[in-house]
Amino acid sequence: MKYMPEDYTMPDESIIYKKASGVRLAMNVYYSKNCTKKTAVALCVHGGGWAAVEKENQPDDKWQGSWMKHQASYYAKRGYIGIEITYRSINLEGVDIADIVEDCEDAVRYIRENIKKADVDRMFAIGDSAGGHLVLCLAFSKDKTVRPKVVVACNPVTDCVDEKWAYICDDENIRRKYSPLFNIEKSDVSFLVVHGTKDEIVPYETSVEYAEKMKNIGNDIELLSIEGEAHAFILYEYQSKPEDVLCYMQKIDEYLDRKM
């Protein structure tokens, strides 16, 4: 399927799924044209260093979406219900990484309980950078009802113990608890990790190590290396050319067609 930024369509619904820490957290929902019955879900989680909603929106404001809005729109055109979500910013006073993971879990619970056409048991979650980290956390949630069937983690942060990410929580033990690299266990989820070999923000080698450790205990995981690409290659209207983003999306589609 061809998709360029000009093919973007506005969401069918903009919903406040949660209020916490004085802010309203939104999700934008994009329905497939053929969405007449229970439909598989594409959950899109943005990155940006875990910096998201910091100020209260007015009740009649609609969330303008994130860098992942194109993925949500794209997957709706592919026959899914595309849903992009946001979460509390790490910059909010008193908020740490545990709160942000909780927001993502609550978003899935809201979808399961309130979006009647959504088949959450056939949900895949795709995230970029910090969003890649968050979808990996969803896959190992203690609440099995929020776990996706498939996770696509693009240039994900897997080692939050690294001092580079110390700002997400002062307590190193909590950062370790929410580091996918240090919390590997057997899982029924299928994983695709996609990483650019020239990433200078999240080292490519961390995804290589993560994939190897996951394979060693028998998890279903594949590593798709994007030769020569830097960080956030999956984002339209960012650094990559639209035709290159489409190429990467189509590679992910090949994987999804096998696993979904």
What is the tens place of the pLDDT at every residue in 93-149? 999 999 999 999 999 999 999 999 999 999 999 999 999 999 999 999 999 999 999
Task: Find the angle CA(73)-CA(66)-CA(138) to the nearest 5 degrees.
Answer: 85
| Alpha carbon distance 62, 73 (integer Å) | 16
Report the mean per-residue pLDDT for the chain: 95
Long-range contacts of 18-21 (CB under 8 A, 24+ apart): 18/103, 18/106, 18/107, 18/110, 20/88, 20/99, 20/103, 21/88, 21/92, 21/93, 21/94, 21/95, 21/99
Q: What pLDDT does residue 37 have?
A: 80
Strand order, beta sheet including 190-196: 13-20, 23-30, 81-85, 39-45, 118-128, 150-154, 190-196, 220-226
pLDDT-above-70 percentage for the chain? 98
What does the angle CA 20 – CA 116 – CA 41 come to, to the nearest 5 degrees? 80
Residue 223: phi, psi to the nearest 5?
Answer: -110, 120
Q: How far apart are CA 195 and CA 212, in angstroms?
A: 14
What angle do helix axes 97-114 and 130-139 make, rounded to 10 degrees?
60
pLDDT digits (tens, 9 = 90+) for 184-235: 999 999 999 999 999 999 999 999 999 999 999 999 999 999 999 999 999 9
Render 128-189 in DSSP notation, one character per residue.
ETHHHHHHHHHHT-SSGGG--SEEEEES----TTSGGGGGG-S-HHHHHHT-GGG-----SS
pLDDT at residue 58 greater than cutoff 70 = no
Domains and CATH numbers, the chain: 15-51+62-259 (3.40.50.1820)
pTM: 0.96
